[in-house]
Amino acid sequence: MGLDMRTLLLATCGLFAGCTSFQPLIDQATAQTVEIEHAKYQTAELIMCRAISIGEWMRSVGPYPEKVQGWRALCVGSSLPSVPVNKNEQK
């Protein structure tokens, strides 16, 4: 039951007097829509942060500094250094 069903319920409610009897259905449709959209967001975040190949990341994110910063904020946080660390310089 997605956005189309919710729209249909609201339109049907508009045709009849006493729309309060439809409120539980509208609430249920709204709750289900929120759950579906949340699942879509979680899937997109999983793909973007954990399932993307390095090649795809280099093509679609790497060349754009603003996308790199957004990816870091979403997927990594502050756990990575801003610049690569050269192990030879750490000695």
DSSP state, 47?
Answer: I
**Which residues, 6+ apart, have CB-to-CB distance to 36 below 8 Å?**
2
pLDDT band at 77 (very low <50, low <70, confident <90, very high): confident
- What are the Cα distances from residue 9, in Å, to 20, 28, 43, 54, 86? 12, 11, 28, 45, 61
Over 90: is that where the pLDDT of 84 sits?
no
**Domain coordinates of the chain in residue numbers?**
30-76
17-74: per-residue pLDDT in tens? Answer: 556 677 888 889 999 999 999 999 999 999 999 999 999 999 999 999 999 999 999 9
pLDDT band at 2 (very low <50, low <70, confident <90, very high): low
**Which residues, 6+ apart, have CB-to-CB distance to 5 below 8 Å?**
29
- 8 Å CB contact between 6 and 26: yes
